[in-house]
Structure 1
């Protein structure tokens, strides 16, 4: 499989510009390239985008056949491809914005969700930041949020098509006065005139996700060096970064949205050494206090499943203290307690049964309880939830529901049966 050069950082070889440059092929809709994208910004292209808005995949062939009688085939393909990308992007950007914006396939996948970008922009604004150099800006998701917070933005990306999409998005959303888009190598951009720097290195290559931070484009070491030179800075990183790789001068923030971990951010010029978990919507913020690991104790009446951002930030001890609870196993991030205490940082379950791992016993229990809907969660177990659900759920479904946790208790494979609290 051919690999595509990363969109940010220093190029591995001299750049040779082509007039038409294929980036990615959309199924049935032709290539996305500089020429076909530019055609979408013409009056004919914009009118065609309005006409194909909301086209369902099953309708595309018929719509394309009809429109090609009056419009160039490449323009019709580009419009239908853009309509499909807008439909996918609605989950991140909201329908109202997505239907006005312009996307590339990689831009939809890699752009920041609006809720997360808005949170970060609000933090910059609260820090007194009035101008930001957004390096590796992609299609402009973060630049848009920053501009809407009243912050002037220099948005930089070296990929011509990506930069064109970012520029088109600033125009489409009425933010062109606050967003300057520059097609350039971010390592060659002077950011001294800006209050803050935001760096979002490319973490995907031709073969998928990149796990080595020094293989990011630009490398993590360059991004950190650039961040430390700025008065304020934020550096977007993968949530799975080892804590030992976090510089001492950085604050580390893990962000989840609706319970799903979205990203981690290293902040510079804020509170060095601080670790925090931020839960959206809200936001709810849990700050680390350097607590020791919670003690292991027998399973109580209630089991708490900490939010993923809390776990990634290593703040389970802070949640356990708040709940007056302990761990069910020293290697498992489930907190148990005897009393129900509401907390935004963990989901609570009332435990009704504790079983050694035994599918037949679980099936009998579920039949006895007339369980017809079974939710299976696992942590520290090699068993796949769908496999257990298929084997354990009785064929004659009852009217009740239950949750089963496949886990370890004091080192032993265990099934905990219960239901959500509240």
Structure 2
């Protein structure tokens, strides 16, 4: 079957927008060029990009879909639709579920739901230890054989060095990655937001930067010892960036991600004791924010992820002391990055697209993030010209826990394709 996407634009290596059409054949990119309709080829389906930006489908290595166990927050169906609405075609789902997919049998059950309900490509993580919080390692070989994408205890840090060391030994023997939520719980002291002047003024317990950075420092030494691929989730502090930069210079196989909310907001943007500003790691200082931006620009941080973490209204609509940690991000990530950084000349469009497509695919050797001839026809199209407020009434997610509601943004998604099949369009959703 031949399909055509016409009247689009792509960003080239010189950060210039060039006119382009895409010819899709049998779920693959068949040609990239212009005026294919004049070749005499019969196209079974034709889509008009209306001058929108065409990119590879975005890749998100960090989402929470909450199923099984927490379907009042999100499901694989709603989470994947939210991803599609944001232009994501490949996402990697965290294992903090109930039951935790810590055996091959449990993992297969989750994957069956994915196969049935997901409209984008969902790769499922397995945990590092049983039940996430234990010190007992999972059966790494069995979980790899069952299709685990990588291993992570995201949501909690691995608290003992010995457990992390043994986990890394298991993972490297199978050529698998350890993906770490870094948080030394002995340094938390009940914190609910970044420790600083704002937390003091609000009378809320703070979370030190060292809570994150100290565990990264421990783990990069273990990664050097074992040779494992060690990937760090949602980096948020200046000290963390410094440790990662030094580790990379030393030749240690370390990669890292950063989230839009940590790049855009700081603790000074928190207007009060409001649950939607509570996330883990927390919004940090302007100095930390600057270090994250510098880390992206110099390659210390490899890619952008969302940490899409949906919660119910009841769980978030309360004081930070009691509210759940987390922010949704799948549906707003690209538009926020475009509006806050490309429009303001801080990042180029080419950089943002690479950090959200090519780079995460390269980090984990995924068949994604490219529009080269023969690649899977995973495609997103964005409107760069018109501004719209972020409207949670239009969300595909069950949740709306984000402080960005109402913010005017450009770069909203027009269409998303997975293997050449249109899985979301703005026109159909309205």
More strand by share: 1
Q: What TM-score do the two structures reach when normalised by structure 1?
A: 0.25
Q: What TM-score do the two structures reach when normalised by structure 2?
A: 0.24
**Highest RCO, 1 vs 2 (Cα 8 Å, sep ≥ 6):** 2
